[in-house]
Structure 1
Amino acid sequence: MADAASRLANLAEELLGGPLPVRLRTWDGGEAGPADAPVLVLRDRRALRRMIWKPGELGLVRAWVAGELDVEGDLYEVLDRVSGLLWERDGGSPGPLAAARDPRLRAAARELLRLAGPVPPPRPPAEEVRGRSGGRHTRRRDRQAIGHHYDVGNDFYALVLGPSMVYSCAYWTPGGTLEEAQRDKLDLVARKLDLKEGDRLLDVGCGWGSMALHAAREYGARVVGVTLSREQAAHARKRVAEEGLTDRIEIRVQDYRDVVDGPYDAISSIGMAEHVGAVKYREYADVLYGLLRPGGRLLNHQISRRPEPDEAAYAIDPFIDAYVFPDGELAPMGRTLTTLEDAGFEVRDVEALREHYALTLRRWVANLEADWDRAVRLVSPGRARVWRLYMAASAVSFERNRIGVNQFLAVKTPAPGTSGMPLRPRAWTGGTD
């Protein structure tokens, strides 16, 4: 096995049809690949066994989560360099590891088997989602999915997110801090919704209560926040009580589909629609439309993906589905806009914030890495490695325009020819146009 690194490098170059983008170091101490490149470290042959049984992204991720695969050097550079293997070639065509049934992968698997040894595959790391019950996006299964991602401990999220406890794209100005950028994002949402003293705001997927607190404290709104996460709700209620806003804010553990106490003047949905699912997007839009008063506004802040040539063949990302957001789905921006319009909304503004989310994710990763030992104690080594990889990989995906994030401002138009919007509606920008 002394030549494991060389054999793997030759195999990778054959698959790629070109030079290896990273340097390899294997469990036997061997190294191969460009001398000036960041190093991908295979600490154990078990990593190869995972790749044999789950070719492509999921096998690599399982090895990463188990600590059998690591990076020496800049993680972002490694992810950027291997994106051609995992996601796309130049021009957007699938990379060689993206299609698990590629004949070349079957030949590669035989060579990997000789290196790994003929043994059964290791069990998936404990952090992987198991035992999902019920149909996709039923109320019961949605509660399970939300619990997997959000109920891992408020202290862990505080470490990653910082004092703002906002788990969505910030709104940056050059030289600003994460806290400033998250405050500015919450204020951007409030201004787009034109919140005023006494307005009823429904915050769908309220998280740890940051939007509810901002709307009540800064604008005098009366807020109902709903979440499926009991840990989030407990933390949000504690923050509300500490700020003396229990008379203005109610936090519920409730499915948005079960909210029946409309009408509301405004609805904010920030980073929640990704959990809804493609088959439920129209129901989601219909429910929110029905909860607004005529002239009421919806601010839908949602991650999007690039359109696929064959939408019927679109598959949920296996890493995200198995380890991060079970049953989460991303829609192209155009589909979201069309769905809102089909439900009766008039879409008045769309703002793309793709670069802002890349900056946000890099800051979260920096927070995690700066207090790594505590993060591991709060969750587990595997869970901490999941969060580091998914946030860093997501940052690269935003930077490469594989995914984006957009704010849709939509209105429940009260009557033909009216909208309740000013003639120059972008007042929230601070300009006059």
Structure 2
Amino acid sequence: MSSSKEIFEKMFAGGDIKINGDNPWDIKVNDERTYDRLLSDGMIGFGESYMDGWWECPALDEFFYRMMYYRIDKLIPKNFNTIKFALKAKYLNMQTKTKSKKVAHMHYNIGNDLYRGMLDKRMIYTCGYWKTAQTLDEAQEDKLDLVCRKLKLEPGMRMLDLGCGWGGLAKFAAERYGVSVVGVNISEEQVNLAREATKGLPVEIRLMDYRDINEKFDRVASVGLMEHVGYKNYRSLMEVAARCMDDDGIFLLHTIGGNFSQTKTDPWIDKYIFPNGMLPSPPQISTAAMGLFTLEDWHNFGVYYDRTCMEWLHNFKRTWPEIKDKYGDTFYRMWEFYLNGCAASFRARKNHLWQVVYRKSKSLGLYEPVR
């Protein structure tokens, strides 16, 4: 009978990963209990053992890339808790108005100091657009301009920003395109900073659930929200956009997505990073929009998310000495695990970044796609 170490040696070999090997993507095991923990606790044990310092890797992003590209991550054993988590995610609505606040408290409210140091100067926490950009600031500004051009904003229009983050898009659209904006968000920390950032502009930031908004707008944007609403609420998000949009309006959906339809996320991500979230697939998005909109454009630039995540990781490490006393070493390793894993998921083309443009079926005339 093979030992737990031998099981993982054979499993990792499929991606040319060695335990205590010489390649930068090889893992170094510091605690022999790691193997049994991986076998008994699956992906949660995998992440937690890294957080505890039981194993390390010089090029963690390349390790994850090989794990995902060769689908080795699918071979990690599932335990009872993993199965229970999957069933719970499938049959219960984990993103009700009450439960949806969990990600706000656990992820977005943990500290604006962390995000100020990690993100660009506008604090945009979604994929940058690196077509011609050379810096993270440029990539995020180019992405915001891309969103505005796809929405075909004109001075005097009124725009709804669903899940408005720290107000970066609202501020950019108001300043550069002369529109008024209503942004909605359930994170108190983000709302407070967004209100401060947009002070003096025709921007209103509301602390409210996206499902409660019921007003008419010329344009609607959802940038980075769909990943949090859960598959049981994809249709609700589309219905909110439809009821809040004029008949000749435009709706832009910006979301991370995956190749396969899922009803759950990775259990480690769910426990430590984005509770109750999940990534939609193309069929799930299209089904949710069916009968409400006409699809005008579908743009995939997920390859840019790899670089975006690595830029965030670089900034996080650079500013860590300033905030480490507040967060601690375990948090550092957790965040390192998270950002490297995310970068690798896009590098391996497991995950994607889509910008989807919809209009109502009553809209006439040609929509010219923007790149």
2:105 & 2:15 partners in 1: Cα distance? 43
> Aligned pair in 2 of structure 1 residues 167, 16: CA closer, same or farther (>3 Å)?
closer
SS at match of 2:324: helix
Give yes or no for the alignment of 1:13 onto 2:4: no
Q: What is the aligned partner in structure 1 of residue 265 from structure 2?
A: 316
Within 5 A, what are the aligned runs for 1:214-363?
214-241=172-199, 244-245=200-201, 248-260=202-214, 262-307=215-260, 315-342=264-291, 344-363=292-311
> Aligned pair in 2 of structure 1 residues 9, 226: CA closer, same or farther (>3 Å)?
same
Alpha-carbon contact 1:162-1:179 (below 8 Å) kept: yes
- Quick one: which amino acid aligns to residue 70 of structure 1? E
Measured on the aligned residues, the alpha-carbon RMSD in Å equals: 2.4
Q: What is the aligned partner in structure 2 of residue 401 from structure 1?
A: 349
- Structure possessing the higher radius of gyration over alpha carbons: 1
1:357 & 1:77 partners in 2: Cα distance? 15
Q: 1:392 aligns with which of 336, 340, 343?
A: 340
Alpha-carbon contact 2:160-2:182 (below 8 Å) kept: yes
Q: 1:51 aligns with which of 4, 26, 38?
A: 38
2:142 & 2:24 partners in 1: Cα distance? 38
Q: What is the aligned partner in structure 2 of residue 96 from structure 1?
A: 75
> Aligned pair in 2 of structure 1 residues 19, 38: CA closer, same or farther (>3 Å)?
closer
> Aligned pair in 2 of structure 1 residues 41, 14: CA closer, same or farther (>3 Å)?
closer
Task: Compute the TM-score of the two structures, normalised by the length of structure 1.
Answer: 0.77
Residue segments in structure 1 that go unaligned for 5+ positions in a row? 1-6, 25-33, 102-133
Q: What is the aligned partner in structure 1 of residue 54 from structure 2?
A: 68
Alpha-carbon contact 1:22-1:81 (below 8 Å) kept: no
Within 5 A, what are the aligned runs for 1:190-209?
190-209=148-167
Alpha-carbon contact 1:225-1:250 (below 8 Å) kept: yes
1:52 & 1:400 partners in 2: Cα distance? 24
Q: What is the aligned partner in structure 1 of residue 147 from structure 2?
A: 189
Structure 1 residues 250-298: Cα deviation after superposition (integer angstroms, max 9, x where no partner): 11110011112x1100111001011111011111111110011111111
Larger mean CA deviation between 59-68 and 227-236 belongs to 59-68
1:392 Cα offset (Å): 1.2
SS at match of 1:286: helix
Higher relative contact order (CA 8 A, sep 6+): 2
1:48 Cα offset (Å): 4.5
- Quick one: which amino acid aligns to residue 258 of structure 1? D
1:162 Cα offset (Å): 2.5
Alpha-carbon contact 1:277-1:327 (below 8 Å) kept: yes
Alpha-carbon contact 1:156-1:379 (below 8 Å) kept: no
1:358 Cα offset (Å): 1.3
Alpha-carbon contact 1:79-1:396 (below 8 Å) kept: yes
SS at match of 1:138: coil
SS at match of 1:141: coil
Q: 1:374 aligns with which of 313, 322, 327?
A: 322
> Aligned pair in 2 of structure 1 residues 295, 70: CA closer, same or farther (>3 Å)?
same
1:67 Cα offset (Å): 2.6
- Quick one: which amino acid aligns to residue 220 of structure 1? G
Q: What is the aligned partner in structure 2 of residue 128 from structure 1?
A: none
1:16 Cα offset (Å): 5.5
> Aligned pair in 2 of structure 1 residues 15, 397: CA closer, same or farther (>3 Å)?
closer
Give yes or no for the alignment of 1:365 onto 2:308: no
Q: What is the aligned partner in structure 2 of residue 82 from structure 1?
A: 67
Alpha-carbon contact 1:295-1:413 (below 8 Å) kept: no
Q: 1:42 aligns with which of 26, 29, 32?
A: 29
Q: Calculate percent identity across the aligned residue pairs.
A: 31
Alpha-carbon contact 1:271-1:303 (below 8 Å) kept: yes
Give yes or no for the alignment of 1:22 onto 2:8: no
Q: 2:131 aligns with which of 139, 148, 173?
A: 173
1:75 & 1:168 partners in 2: Cα distance? 21
- Quick one: which amino acid aligns to residue 354 of structure 1? G
> Aligned pair in 2 of structure 1 residues 18, 234: CA closer, same or farther (>3 Å)?
closer
Q: What is the aligned partner in structure 2 of residue 131 from structure 1?
A: none
Alpha-carbon contact 1:16-1:96 (below 8 Å) kept: no
SS at match of 2:100: helix
SS at match of 1:139: coil
Structure 1 residues 372-431: Cα deviation after superposition (integer angstroms, max 9, x where no partner): 3234234332223222211211111111111111011101233xxxx255x3612x33xx
Alpha-carbon contact 1:43-1:68 (below 8 Å) kept: yes
Q: What is the aligned partner in structure 1 of residue 88 from structure 2?
A: none
2:125 & 2:10 partners in 1: Cα distance? 41
Q: What is the aligned partner in structure 1 of residue 87 from structure 2?
A: none
- Quick one: which amino acid aligns to residue 231 of structure 2? A
Give yes or no for the alignment of 1:144 onto 2:102: yes
> Aligned pair in 2 of structure 1 residues 97, 52: CA closer, same or farther (>3 Å)?
closer
